[in-house]
Structure 1
Amino acid sequence: MTRFGVVLISERSSKEEWLARCRRADALGYDVIAVPDHLNLLSPFPTALLAAEASERATIGTYVLNASFHRPALLAREVTTTVALIGERLELGLGTGYVESEFAAAGLPFDAPTRIDRLAGLVAELDRLLDHKGPPLLIGGHGDRVLGLAARRAEIVSFTGAPYRPEYGRTALVTAGALLRRVEHVRAAAGERAPRLELNVLSKATVLTGDRRAGVAGLRRYAPDLTVDELLEVPTLFVGTPAQIAEQVRQNEERFGFSYITVMDSAMEDFGKVIEHLR
């Protein structure tokens, strides 16, 4: 059965406001309520605990913790405490981080090899500190090393489909064909583990419209070098009527193996209409 997650983002919020947003995500049918890890946003673990308080049903995820921001022993304490308080509902998402200004603010180097080494080291140490009994691990990214690590060590591999592009100073989406090659890379790297992996994709935007070609025009900022036809094909954007997008989700699962879809909270309400067609 396909799972659906939403990343809730807030720079500031009262407890009541945060709980209301989490309850709304739960009511819309999301299976996973996830919290991000950026320096300008609310801290992930307190908000994760409140999300669990708001919903008795949903899994609570981190999408994703920046490995460079967390020391293994301290993160192991956070994980152990969270599991003790909310039970077996935590899904631990990790990544390398991608916002260069945040690394500068934290006094950390931004070069890719160092970030990936930190992620690999954190995964190994957490496994040891949690005695191989940690919550389900999600690792998200795009490059060979990160996805190879995910294939070998995680239960869930999350595809961002958006590498960092220096010419744009940010990430940008790749074509459907390029993302399919990323999936094939993971399956090859996973070997015997491949059939047991859950494949997740992070969607950047959902646009409800009766005119898909017109609807995708406002999404060009996510992939400046892709054509309209290429934008309509990528599994990281959802454009169309709820029924059309539901069919896109089904086709993406068949073509890419994506059985777990995560959307940003700006799309929470609109994609909730899609979930209705898939349940």
Structure 2
Amino acid sequence: MTRFGVVLIAERATRKQWLDRCRRAEALGYDVIAVPDHLNLLSPFPTAVLAAEATERPRIGTYVLNASFHRPALFARDVTTTAGLLGDRFELGLGTGYVEAEFTAAGLPFDPATRIARLAGLARAVETLPARPPLMIGGHGDRVLRLAARHADVAGFTGAAHRPEYGRTALVTAAALLERVAYLRAAAGARAARMELNVLSKATVLTRDRRAGVESLRRYAPDLTTDELLEVPTLFAGTPAQIAEQVRAGEERFGFSYVTVMDAAMEDFGKVITLLR
């Protein structure tokens, strides 16, 4: 059965606001409530613990921790503490980080080799923990996918490559993403059959005109054609029933049995979850 997650984003929130947001996600049927890791947002570990306190059913995850922000020994302490408090509800997500300005603000190098090395260090640290939570490693490039193949229980696909000409990431075509899934499976070998595949959806638009809907999301993939935008599993557009079909197609074609949406899509995608239960 497909799992559904939502990344809750709070730049500023009172305790009550955060608790209410988490409870709303649970009421909408989300299986995983996840917290991100950015300098302008609330700190991930305390908000994860509070999300668990606010809810009963959903698992609580990090989606995803920026490996460069966490030193292995301190990271091990924080993960062990959080896993101890949340028990089997905690899921740990790791990535390399992708916002260069945050690295500059934190006084950290942004070069790819260093970011990959730090991600690898944290992935190894997880394996030494006495109570190891399920581990997701998310990304797009070869080196991140090889790390996921070696260490992760869940491979998270962003479906977005860094584009220097835009100064940010941009979504790739469905065919390019399918190649990334094949790369992960080949690298994982026998482990691939035991791994869960996750996809991060950038946006959801409820509309009766799918073409117009994806055109409104062109900022996420400036060089894709309208037909290519309609095909990617990283954008959802259409009626709830049409989006439900997109989700089913994504599982059949790519193997995505775990779908995560962003905070802004929580309410709209909740209508899709109802149809898929």
Do they fold alike, i.e. is TM over 0.5?
yes
2:263 is aligned to 265
1:68 is aligned to 68
- Per-residue CA distance 1:18-74 (angstroms, 9 max, x = gap): 000000000000000000000000000111011001111100000000000001111
What RMSD, in angstroms, separates the aligned Cα atoms of the two structures? 0.7
Is 1:15 aligned to residue 6 of structure 2? Answer: no
Partner Cα distance (1:97, 1:158) in 2: 14
Partner Cα distance (1:258, 1:173) in 2: 17
TM-score by length of 1: 0.98
What SS does the aligned partner of 1:42 have? coil
Query: Within 5 A, what are the aligned runs for 1:228-267?
Result: 228-267=226-265
Letter paired with 2:263: D
Is 1:158 aligned to residue 156 of structure 2? Answer: yes
Partner Cα distance (1:74, 1:56) in 2: 28
1:34 is aligned to 34
Letter paired with 2:92: L
2:223 is aligned to 225
> 1:85 Cα shift?
1.4
Partner Cα distance (2:272, 2:101) in 1: 35
> 1:125 Cα shift?
2.2
- Per-residue CA distance 1:215-265 (angstroms, 9 max, x = gap): 111100000000000000000000000000001100110000000000000
Partner Cα distance (2:19, 2:125) in 1: 33
Query: Within 5 A, what are the aligned runs for 1:83-122?
Result: 83-122=83-122
Letter paired with 1:266: A
Letter paired with 1:88: D
Query: Within 5 A, what are the aligned runs for 1:131-170?
Result: 131=130, 133-170=131-168
- Per-residue CA distance 1:102-156 (angstroms, 9 max, x = gap): 000111110111100110111112322x04x310000000000001110111000
CA contact (8 A) 1:73 1:126 kept: no
Letter paired with 1:178: A
Partner Cα distance (2:47, 2:124) in 1: 26
TM-score by length of 2: 0.99
Identity of aligned residues (%): 78
1:215 is aligned to 213
1:79 is aligned to 79
What SS does the aligned partner of 2:243 have? helix
> 1:87 Cα shift?
1.5
What SS does the aligned partner of 1:26 have? helix
Letter paired with 2:135: L
- Runs (4+) of structure 1 exceeding 2 A deviation are none
Partner Cα distance (2:124, 2:218) in 1: 38
Partner Cα distance (1:86, 1:119) in 2: 23
Gaps of 5+ in 2: none
1:194 is aligned to 192
